[in-house]
Amino acid sequence: MINTQSPSFSQCAGELREQIDAALQARSQLARGCPAELREAILYSLLARGKRLRPMLVLLAAEACGGSIRAATPAACAVEMVHAYSLVHDDLPAIDDDDLRRGQPTCHKTFGEATAILAGDALLTMAFEVLAKEIEPPELAAACCAALAEAAGPCNMVGGQADDVAGQNFVGPGTDGRIGALESIHRRKTGAMIEVSLKLGALVAGAGAEQLTALARYGRRLGLAFQITDDLLDVHGDEQSAGKRVGKDARQGRLTFPGLLGLEESSARAEQLVTEACEALAPLGGRAEDLKSLARQVLERNR
């Protein structure tokens, strides 16, 4: 088993997070037309204490395909901006009605609903501005915009969220049908953004078809493992380290992996998915070691 606690990977992950935070900060210098309150709400949500999993996947995928961290940094910022928008909107009273996120009151609790909606809109828009202006050549920027739009749009993240809100995860005959429905929601709602993070890193690095396929296989499995651990954290995580409310799934009677499979089988399934994710990286050789370590970290996370 890969040792995610190895000082070398922990150090590498810490340094990457610092670089990502600095890059996000640099892209948050909004021009004079942006109202002060809106600006504050954008920065409050974007620069809060997130794990930066998706931007790390962008950067590590680029490295695994022989590209540079510097060239992939705009794409890393763009995925984090879309992710931050989705969290702000997800927390709104009309959707999940949450009051705690990333260890601080949710955006709408601090700035009001109208400003939170607008801050989310702004973050989504900023993501595409960063890609369009900073990725070169323009054809590559267009390909990155298209990939991110597809992952975040109506057939993936927003569509999965819509089915989740509509309670579609309660349908399906028997346990297998329910697991299938649950996986379909999470593949779109959570998995698509994880998969596209890897794809953007690979595109910027000029990856070939074999590398893209390997990363897509890894991302698909990692996305599901991430969601299962998210469900497990909701059962036995603590609010202090998670930085968000826990126990909500049970209170809302939501269908979850632990609810369907039990705690032990859910953990085993997440572990199996991470093993398969790491195996899928074989075509990338030794340069994919950090992606493997990151996948193990997803299993061990407490937030």
Does residue 165 interact with ligand GRG by CB under 6 A? no
CB of 164 to ligand GRG, least distance (A): 8
Does residue 229 interact with ligand GRG by CB under 6 A? no
Given the complex with ligand GRG, which of 189 and 220 has the nearer CB atom?
189
Please state the φ and ψ torsions of residue 103, each to the nearest 5 degrees: 75, 15
Does residue 86 interact with ligand GRG by CB under 6 A? yes
Stretch 118-157: interaction string toward ligand GRG, x if CB under 6 A:
---------------------------------------x
Please state the φ and ψ torsions of residue 100, each to the nearest 5 degrees: -135, 130
The closest of 258, 277, 186, 266 to 224, measured between CA atoms, is 186
* Contacting range for ligand GRG; rule: CB under 6 A; set: 7-15, 67-75, 87-95, 175-183: 87-95
Of the residues 42, 64, 77, 89, which one makes contact with ligand GRG according to CB under 6 A: 89
Of the residues 22, 26, 34, 95, which one makes contact with ligand GRG according to CB under 6 A: 95
Residues 20 and 182: their CA atoms lie apart, in Å, by 32
User: In the numeric block, which tokens belong to residue 236?
Assistant: 């036995």
Does residue 102 interact with ligand GRG by CB under 6 A? yes
Residues 190 and 188: their CA atoms lie apart, in Å, by 6
Does residue 65 interact with ligand GRG by CB under 6 A? no
CB of 226 to ligand GRG, least distance (A): 7
Does residue 231 interact with ligand GRG by CB under 6 A? no
Does residue 2 interact with ligand GRG by CB under 6 A? no
Does residue 191 interact with ligand GRG by CB under 6 A? no
**# chain residues binding ligand GRG, by CB under 6 A:** 16
Burial of 192: CB neighbours in 10 Å, binned 0-12, 13-18, 19+? buried
Stretch 43-62: interaction string toward ligand GRG, x if CB under 6 A:
-------xx-x---------
CB of 167 to ligand GRG, least distance (A): 15
Does residue 87 interact with ligand GRG by CB under 6 A? yes
Given the complex with ligand GRG, which of 66 and 154 has the nearer CB atom?
154
Query: What are the residues binding ligand GRG (CB under 6 A)?
Result: 50-51, 53, 83, 86-87, 89-90, 95, 102, 157-158, 161, 189-190, 230
